[in-house]
Amino acid sequence: MEAGEIFRVEGPAKVDVVEGELYAVGAIYRAGQSFTVLRARKLAFKAVSRSKISVMLGPGAVLERARPEEEVIDEWESLASSIELRGVIVIIGALDVGKSTMTAVLANKALMGNKGVAVVDADVGQNDLGPPTTISASRVPRPVTHLRQLQAEKSIFVQSTSLERIWDRAVEAIKRLVDYAKSQWGSDVVIVNTDGWIAGEEAVAYKRSLLSALAPTGIVAIRIGGELDEIVKGFTNVAFARPPPAARTRSKEDRKIHRDMSYGRFIFPVKEISIDLDKLPFCNLVLSKGIIIDNNLMGILSRAINSRIFYAVQSGNLVYAITEGWAIKRVGNVRVFGLPEGFERGLLVGFEDSGGFLLGLGVLKRIYYEKRKAVIYASAKLERSLDKARCIRVGYVRLNENFEEAEKVTQLLRYDLYSSERDGSVRGAGSA
């Protein structure tokens, strides 16, 4: 390669520098060094000086010479050089614009400047560090070509693959992970990658509230047109970038397949674990905590909601009942929440430690109310750390027997929102 020449490669591939120097994703690779490109991912690299390289291409891989006008490699590099890489940097943009790649560029760039770098991945649908439904954080010990090469060191379970109606929890979780990276890891710079949810009033409210809460040193907005205008309005520290013109876009189906594969990765090798709910309760289901109601009240409630009640507990003026279907009803001064028998089957759950951080994911098989037990599929690794668990948070995603997404249980989201509003509970450290 002549100095300045750019190639684009789609993985799986490995690029070895034999002589000279290459620039890829914010890092410099010298003779004897190499980088990998993951399957179905693309990246561009450039010769800093006249170089000799060796490229190993895996099945379906493509290597092509890029015309300079097709690439944003120089624009992105000058952006990375122009912003102050310290404190918190937030990346925003729509789907597939290169947010994850930009996060890696900035992380590598900061590493090259000998800074302590951490990444927080707040993309709950396509998380590169941890499983879907989480916000995850990791230190960056060496340059990476894809965030996927890092592994979550700290995660917070946010119960869903989209943040609609629950984004306030995401703001709190992201803030907590950023603070953790600064205080516990001593990171000089924390780069926050976000999800591609940018359109509509709620998405704008979320992103603006996140930016206000984090008060970042810099905001990097990857935009195609005016789609981020509403979000960044009034913020002065915004650097704009263009997406790579040759970026791959992924269909909704592609994204779901990607997630499906991800759940399994974090639950396998799977074991059936029996949980004593008196020792390890649910964080967000009163079912295992309240007082069991008597037959008399059971009869009254059953008639009022016009359904059989299999089991019910009372906590204050709230009654949670296992019934024939979903129901929310006021009976006198009590509010009855009916959850259908078997509603728990396949629900994704997160085991949380006393700091509100995720220990691992599991899938609910069955709750035995009278015995105060739950059977959960989880990894053997998680089973070994159960002594650190404080409670089990039930999520809104239902998986099938192959650990693939089957549905989003919106009724449960509604229950959760209502109960947390009622008891004024705040997630995380200190909340019961």
Using CB under 6 A as the criterion, which residues of the chain lie in contact with ligand ATP when the complex forms?
8, 41-44, 71, 93, 95-101, 123, 126, 196, 244, 246-248, 250
Number of H helices, E strands in the chain: 9, 26
In whole angstroms, the minimum distance from the beta carbon of 131 to Mg ion comes to 14
166 touches 402 (CB < 8 A): no
CA-wise closest residue to 335 among 400, 415, 263, 260: 415
| CA separation for the pair 226, 150 (Å, rounded) | 32
Secondary structure element (H or E) that encloses residue 206, with its range? helix 201-214
Stretch that binds Mg ion, among 93-101, 104-112, 182-190, 288-296 (CB under 5 A): 93-101
Q: Which residue lies nearer to ligand ATP by CB, 221 or 409?
A: 221
Q: Which two tokens stand for residue 389?
A: 């668990």
399 touches 361 (CB < 8 A): no
In whole angstroms, the minimum distance from the beta carbon of 95 to ligand ATP comes to 4
Stretch that binds Mg ion, among 26-34, 55-63, 95-103, 280-288 (CB under 5 A): 95-103
Report the residue from 71, 79, 80, 100 that binds Mg ion according to the rule CB under 5 A.
Answer: 100
In whole angstroms, the minimum distance from the beta carbon of 97 to ligand ATP comes to 5
Q: Which residue lies nearer to ligand ATP by CB, 72 or 298?
A: 72
CA distances, 400 to each of 252, 271, 403 (Å): 19, 16, 5
Q: Which residue lies nearer to ligand ATP by CB, 244 or 346?
A: 244
Stretch that binds Mg ion, among 100-108, 183-191, 238-246, 312-320 (CB under 5 A): 100-108
Burial class of residue 100 (count of CB atoms within 10 Å of its CB; 0-12, 13-18, 19+): buried
Amino acid at site 139: R
Q: Which residue lies nearer to ligand ATP by CB, 41 or 393?
A: 41
Task: Work out whether 159 is an interface residue with Mg ion (CB under 5 A).
Answer: no
96 binds, among ligand ATP, Mg ion, none (CB under 5 to 8 A by kind): ligand ATP
Q: Which residue lies nearer to ligand ATP by CB, 46 or 393?
A: 46
281 binds, among Mg ion, ligand ATP, none (CB under 5 to 8 A by kind): none
Q: Which two tokens stand for residue 6?
A: 């750019």
Q: Which residue lies nearer to ligand ATP by CB, 95 or 213?
A: 95
In whole angstroms, the minimum distance from the beta carbon of 388 to ligand ATP comes to 31
Q: Which two tokens stand for residue 409?
A: 């249980």
Q: Which residue lies nearer to ligand ATP by CB, 145 or 302?
A: 145
304 binds, among ligand ATP, Mg ion, none (CB under 5 to 8 A by kind): none
1 touches 20 (CB < 8 A): yes
Supply angle C-alpha 195, 132, 431, rounded to 5: 90
Q: Which two tokens stand for residue 103?
A: 């996060």
Q: Which residue lies nearer to ligand ATP by CB, 214 or 222?
A: 222
Binding-site size for Mg ion (CB under 5 A) equals 2
Q: Which two tokens stand for residue 213?
A: 């809460």
In whole angstroms, the minimum distance from the beta carbon of 426 to ligand ATP comes to 29
Secondary structure element (H or E) that encloses residue 96, with its range? none
334 binds, among Mg ion, ligand ATP, none (CB under 5 to 8 A by kind): none
CA-wise closest residue to 101 among 72, 133, 141: 72
Amino acid at site 138: S
Q: Which residues bind Mg ion (CB under 5 A)?
A: 99-100
